[in-house]
């Protein structure tokens, strides 16, 4: 899943990730990324159940399950197009 781009088909919860002065990541606000947002999966999450994504030059942590649900929903359409 890492280093892939996903277009969201529904809103998903996301936690902002911001750099601290010590070079560590601190957690920011809980947000919703909107449907139609093109997010780039770009790093490891806080746990094995999350991944780091980038949207509009801002980093967030999101649940893998939310992204997997979207991939499964569009998978049949992708197979028809091949």
Q: Which of 47, 42, 37 is nearest to 13 (CA)?
A: 37
Helix (DSSP H) and strand (DSSP E) numbers for the chain: 1, 6
For residue 69 the two structure tokens come to 């649900």
Check if the beta carbon of residue 40 is closer than 8 Å to that of residue 54.
Answer: yes
Check if the beta carbon of residue 9 is closer than 8 Å to that of residue 38.
Answer: no
Owning domain of residue 57: 4-81
Q: Model-level pTM greater than 0.85?
A: no
Percent helix / strand / coil, the chain, rounded to 5: 20, 50, 30
Q: How many domains does the chain have?
A: 1
**pLDDT given at position 81:** 41
User: Which portions of the chain are predicted below pLDDT 50?
Assistant: 75-82
């Amino acid at each position: 899943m890492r280093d892939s781009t996903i277009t969201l088909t529904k809103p998903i919860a996301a936690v902002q990730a911001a750099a601290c002065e010590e070079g560590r990541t601190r957690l920011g606000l809980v947000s919703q990324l909107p449907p139609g947002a093109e997010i780039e999966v770009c790093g490891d999450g806080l746990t094995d159940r999350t991944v780091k994504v980038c949207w509009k030059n801002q980093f967030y942590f999101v649940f893998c399950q939310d992204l997997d649900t979207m991939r499964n929903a569009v998978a049949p359409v992708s197979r028809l197009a091949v």
